[in-house]
Amino acid sequence: MIVETTNYFAREGQAAAVLAQRRKASAIRRELGLEPGRIYVKLEGAGPDIRWECRFPSLEAYEADMAARAQSQAFTAARKDMHTLLERFERHLSVPDELPGDGG
């Protein structure tokens, strides 16, 4: 399994707009037949204002998802609009830590 996490650090006063834009991007994902993922909103502490996470069964599935996003004019426009609202953006890929004998 591959887990993609994107972190959105909003410009001053733009956290609500970032959340709305992330919701729009997730709706576009649904229209494309992609998993919409899950959106998280910062409750307290340091870190991103908004975080999005999506799980993929394999690296190939993740790469196919990235290709579908890149081919979508609507998603490309949503991504461009998002970046006008941000101080910083991060994308991370992770895999679960599976200890020997833990059954995964």
Question: What pLDDT digit, counting tens, does each position of 16-59 carry?
Answer: 999 999 999 999 999 999 999 999 999 999 999 999 999 999 99
Q: What is the pLDDT of residue 104?
A: 56
The whole-model pTM stands at: 0.89
Position 94 pLDDT exceeds 90 = yes
* Residue 3: strand pairing partners: 55, 94
Q: Categorize the per-residue pLDDT at 98 as very low, low, confident or very high, splitting at 50, 70 and 90.
A: confident
75 CA to centre of own chain: 12
Say which residues have a Cβ less than 8 Å from residue 55's Cβ, sequence separation at least 6.
1, 2, 3, 4, 35
